[in-house]
Structure 1
Amino acid sequence: MVHAGVKLCVPLAVGTICMCLGVALVFVLDNIVHSMVNTKMTLTNTSAMYNSWKNPQAPVYMQFYVYDIINSYEVQHGKELPYVIQKGPYTYKGYRPKIDVHFNNNGTVSYTQNVTYFFDRSMSSGWDNETLTTINIPLISVASMARYMPDLLQTLIEALEKVSGAELFMKKTVAELLWGYDDDMLKFIMNLTKKRFIKSDKFGIFIGMNNSDNGMHTVYTSADKLNIIDKWQGLSSLPWWNDQYANMINGTDGSQTPPFSDRSKPTYLFSADICRSVYGVFEKEVEVRGITANRFVLDSYILGNVTDNPDNAAYCTPKNNCLPSGLLNTSVCHEGAPIVYSFPHFLYADKDVILPCMNPNKEEHQTLVEYDYVTGISMSVYKRMQVNVHLTRQKDISDLSEINDVYYPVLWLNESFTIDEASATKYKHMVLVPLYLAKITPWVVFGIGCLIVIIALILLARKQRRRYQTPLHGNSIQENHDKEPILDGATAEKA
């Protein structure tokens, strides 16, 4: 019995060791996984991620929804608010390989991106040569600058408008509005002023942004600060806003964030389009092609008025000229053009700003980024913003002499990316499966240890029970009778 008990002590010890090892592995493997991910995600010119970072194969889609006005006469004469019809999407497939890559000695890498867009008819509602009626942004821009000039110059601009044949509303194709067209009024002013104020007679909302680079970026390469922007266009801070905090260049470009980022904290993004940094707050976990991701959204607080968000006072331009909620005046970084950004359909804007023809809703019009928690790689991005023009009455310019003060919507865009099926499958096999195995291994070891201990204890209990059990049947009973003592002589004689 003692020998059998000693034998059972061996599996009991083995099971206990397995249980302790399983508990230890929970903490050890977690640290190992973090260390391995941080090592893999550190960007170098020899790292596994370098080629996909330098030459991303998945396209970024630019979808433009352009507004076509149907009551231009009534608007120009102050009789009605603009009534526009949304047309689109007009979709362009964009590729952004990084060029002039240079690793610096301070743990950063500098590069530019060669941005090229190709029209994708299969994802569009029509061709981009379709014509629509839109606002004359060059005229509004020149008029806006003239507002602060002497009356004589305003009269001159009125004359230039007549000579050039400029009108407040004009017909242009989608491609012209986006990528540029020759403007007669700009040509007159450019020639008249010897290019002192206007350097080009072409205008397009995104002119110069196709088949071009988007400026020098310098970002950090270590995993703990991966893709966080250090400098943009050689600048450590922006020159446009009213305090040092608003001028800070914070966060990433949205394509990737550092691994294991704390989702309870905001994730910062820098957008050159709107000339400032913004931040997203965690909303919920979502599934993107079978991969769990953390969704961060830009909420109403980002473009809140100074009452709702006092920090936005720094974005009031000119100083103390603050706009209602939901609007951002970017004229300071767009050469004086009265461009005002908002979310599509004036999502989160003050009700007085929203035109009756607008239909804002969160699902279609909010900006969001969905990151994988482990690697920080973006599984999907939806950057949505609307380009508006601030129309104000100017008595010395006939086309604006009767117009009502209004924020006129020109178009909105959805710049989006979603990981494709092939990349998602590869990501699962290379990242999620090993992580899953690493996660369950400690508990498997712990479970095996528990099972061994339980079996050993059951066997030990049975051995102990048999040891103290009294025999009741068979030869043992007979042997007990044979060994009974002789109680008296009579019994002995009879026997």
Structure 2
Amino acid sequence: MYSNGTISYQEPRKYTFDRAQSVDDETFSFTTINVVYMVDSIAYDTFLVSNGVGDNAYGIERVDPVGTIERFNYLTSLLIWSDQYANMINGTDGTMWHPNATKDERIYAFIPDICRSIYLTFNETRRNIADVDLYRYTLPLTIFSNSSENRGFCMNGTTFNNIYELQCLPDGLFTQTPCQHFGGSLSIPFPIIASNPHFLDADPIVLDAVEGMHPNDTIHRSFADIEPTTG
């Protein structure tokens, strides 16, 4: 913990097998790329977050900044996207939010796996099994859209006649090439494109190009359930 009201931590990860969500049992074998073997060294992300303790400029105790990421890997913003907006580090790590949530606000979170901040908007009030009312915030339809808001996430490129332009993917697709690398000092980018499950919210040209996709807003849209008083 630091004197300016922030703490730093590294996020451990653990994976367990879930048979109910799997097509086969643990004895099933498949072949894939060994990403860990391809990477020369594994780096753990470091977060510096606000603990929400202290007063604002008016001397009133503040709670809104609790859990907000101040720095990620010692940087206040990313350096990989093509504009300042896309490189912003907004919100928390997605495991906590500030108290007194409202229905008209955007809930921001920074997702290291995709190297960008996202936001969720209020969808509905739900009651959990403990009879507690929760606000459900969901990922909006436009979060991965080919729009001016997402212009900074397009890839840099040049046309056949060497005219500079940004190369943007269709709605629903999000490039991971600037984000995912292997090879240590060579830093070779992975040609990876991300999307919602089953290409939810994707352009029909994307959805029609792959067989077996059945996007369902109820089960495929990302969400966060937040107890509004405590966060």
Superposition TM-score, scaled by structure 2 size: 0.80
> 1:312 maps to which residue?
150
Letter in 1 for 2:12: N
Q: Which runs of 4+ in 1 moved over 6 A?
A: none
Selected match of 1:293 from 134, 137, 140: 134
**Structure 1 counterpart of 2:174:** 328
Displacement of 1:224 in angstroms is 2.2
Q: For residue 219 of structure 2, give the secondary structure of its aligned residue in structure 1.
A: helix
Aligned to 1:165: none
Q: CA offsets per residue over residues 48-73 of structure 1, 9 Å max, x none?
A: xxxxxxxxxxxxxxxxxxxxxxxxxx
Question: 1:200-349 alignment to 2 at 5 Å?
Answer: 214-222=44-52, 223-289=63-129, 290-306=131-147, 310-319=148-157, 320-335=166-181, 336-349=189-202
Give the deviation of 1:180 after TM superposition. Answer: 4.6
Cα deviation, residue 359, structure 1: 0.5
**For residues 313 and 293 of structure 1, do their structure 2 counterparts lie closer, same or farther at Cα, with a shift above 3 Å needed?**
same
Tell me how far apart the structure 1 counterparts of residues 21 and 199 of structure 2 sit (CA, whole Å). Answer: 25
Counterpart secondary structure, 1:285: strand
Does the Cα contact within 8 Å between 1:280 and 1:296 map onto a contact in 2?
Answer: yes
Q: C-alpha separation between the residues in 2 aligned to 1:214 and 1:284? A: 36
Which structure carries more helix by proportion?
Answer: 1
Q: Identity, % of aligned pairs?
A: 33
1:338-373: CA deviations, max 9, x gaps? 100100010000000012321011011110001000
**Alignment partner of 1:115: what SS?**
coil
Show the counterpart of 2:162. Answer: none
1:260 counterpart letter in structure 2: N
Contact 1:115 1:214 in 2 (8 A): no
Q: Partner of 1:106 in structure 2?
A: 4
Shift of 1:295: 0.6
The whole-number CA distance in structure 1 between the counterparts of 2:193 and 2:27 is 26
User: 1:366 aligned to 2:224?
Assistant: no
Structure 1 pair 122–305 and aligned structure 2 pair: CA distance change class (3 A) = closer
Q: Does the residue aligned with 1:345 lie in a helix, a strand or coil? A: helix
Deviation at 1:286, TM superposition (A): 0.7
User: Which protein has the larger Cα radius of gyration, Structure 1 or Structure 2?
Assistant: 1
Residue of structure 1 equivalent to 2:160: none
Unaligned runs of 5+ in 1: 1-102, 133-171, 187-197, 201-207, 377-495
Amino acid paired to 1:313: R
Contact (CA 8 Å) 2:82, 2:156: kept in 1 or not? no
Aligned-partner residue type, residue 150 of structure 2? N
> Residue 124 and residue 358 in structure 1: after superposition, are their counterparts in 2 closer, same or farther (change >3 A)?
closer
- Partners of 1:121 and 1:357 lie apart in 2 by 21
1:273 is paired with a residue whose SS is helix
- Output the amino acid matched with 1:108: T
Per-residue CA distance 1:171-229 (angstroms, 9 max, x = gap): x1xxx55x6576xxx7xxxxxxxxxxx748xxxxxxx6xxxx84111111112211111
- Cα 1:120–1:305, aligned 2, differ >3 Å: closer, same or farther? closer
How far apart, in 1, do the equivalents of 2:36 and 2:89 lie?
Answer: 33
2-structure distance, mates of 1:328, 1:244: 18
Q: CA 1:119–1:321 in 2, change beyond 3 Å: closer, same or farther? A: same
Measured on the aligned residues, the alpha-carbon RMSD in Å equals 2.2
Q: Distance in 1 between matches of 2:128 and 2:12?
A: 28
Q: After TM superposition, give the deviation of residue 126 of structure 1 in Å.
A: 2.6
2:139 and 2:222 in contact (8 A); partners too: yes
Contact 2:120 2:138 in 1 (8 A): yes
d(CA) in 2 for partners of 1:229, 1:263: 22
Name which structure has the greater RCO, CA cutoff 8 Å, separation 6+: 1
Aligned length: 203
Per the TM alignment, residue 301 of structure 1 is displaced from its structure 2 partner at its CA by 0.9
Provide the C-alpha distance between the structure 1 equivalents of 2:139 and 2:21, rounded to a whole number of angstroms. 26
The structure-2 alpha-carbon separation of the partners of 1:232 and 1:316, relative to structure 1 and needing over 3 Å to count, comes to same
- Partner amino acid for 2:216? N
